[in-house]
Structure 1
């Protein structure tokens, strides 16, 4: 994650335009299959961005997704929870920090459906990165494009 994005989040908090995220590391709870290597790589991406990760190994993600309110058609390979927001799949840390600093009305969480090549944890050397959307979803079923990335870079 780029330092300027973290600084923007801190500046917004100091100016009172965003709720305080948390003093110190952000707490990220993750639920994943114990045999998933890309989930571990995504957790490393989040750790590198300053998140503190609680890793929960489960045999089925379906109950967790129901509790978090993640739409089934947005499913990927792991689910998470940070500051009351649900996460699904390989959501870049930059998108999560933007969500936490802006707290848009009606948004329940973010998802990156499927497993795009080049998204955090899905890097494949020698293979071009996919361009993909980070989808914001709401409690009432609404959704829309929150951010767009190519690999780990916002476009």
Structure 2
């Protein structure tokens, strides 16, 4: 079968549908609900343009934190990630900035609470990609999730595995 513009468009459209489908399915945020909301004073979430997962994650945060969450869709999300030192291989669709830390991706609030309680000498944490079953994502968890440290002496080391 020859590769034509029509084939390319069909392939890209199919990939887009499957990519969005992961964001739409039933979210497993219930397994990540907290008994008490995490105390986070003010947080700023930078969303990728047109990403439904980012909105779902923001909704999850609002349900599980005490404090304000602002959302912004920047013109250049990559520039935001570069500004906050998120390595390319640890990136996801949205970046959360709170207090002295950056949180990249669909990180459960329990991990954010731990980060704020322990106050390690790192710049933040990242759960790369968009793993199924994480807060804000549809689907079912498929194996462990590794949340990595960003910056400091522990950069790219495992912060926690869930």
Same fold by TM (over 0.5)? Answer: yes
- Alignment counterpart, residue 97 of structure 1, candidates 95, 107, 113: 113
**1:135 aligns to what?**
148
Q: Is the 8 A contact 1:27 1:52 kept in 2?
A: yes
State the distance in 2 between where 1:134 and 1:110 align: 6
**2:130 aligns to what?**
115
- Alignment counterpart, residue 72 of structure 1, candidates 80, 88, 101: 88
> More relative contact order in 1 or in 2 (CA 8 Å, sep 6+)?
2
Normalising by structure 1, report the TM-score. Answer: 0.74
Shift of residue 48 of structure 1?
1.0
Q: Is the 8 A contact 2:85 2:150 kept in 1?
A: no
State the distance in 2 between where 1:109 and 1:41 align: 21
State the distance in 1 between where 2:88 and 2:114 align: 24
Name the structure where helix makes up a greater proportion of residues.
2
Structure 2: 5+ residue runs without aligned partners? 1-32
Name the structure where strand makes up a greater proportion of residues.
1
Q: Across the two proteins, how many residue pairs are aligned to each other?
A: 128
Q: Is the 8 A contact 2:37 2:64 kept in 1?
A: no
State the distance in 2 between where 1:110 and 1:122 align: 18
Normalising by structure 2, report the TM-score. Answer: 0.71
State the distance in 2 between where 1:5 and 1:145 align: 25
Q: Is the 8 A contact 1:89 1:115 kept in 2?
A: yes
1:5-154 alignment runs, 5 A limit = 6=38, 25-50=40-65, 51-105=67-121, 107-124=122-139, 128-130=140-142, 131-139=144-152, 142-149=155-162
Shift of residue 30 of structure 1?
0.8
Shift of residue 143 of structure 1?
2.2
Structure 1: 5+ residue runs without aligned partners? 7-20, 150-155
Q: Bigger radius of gyration, 1 or 2? A: 2
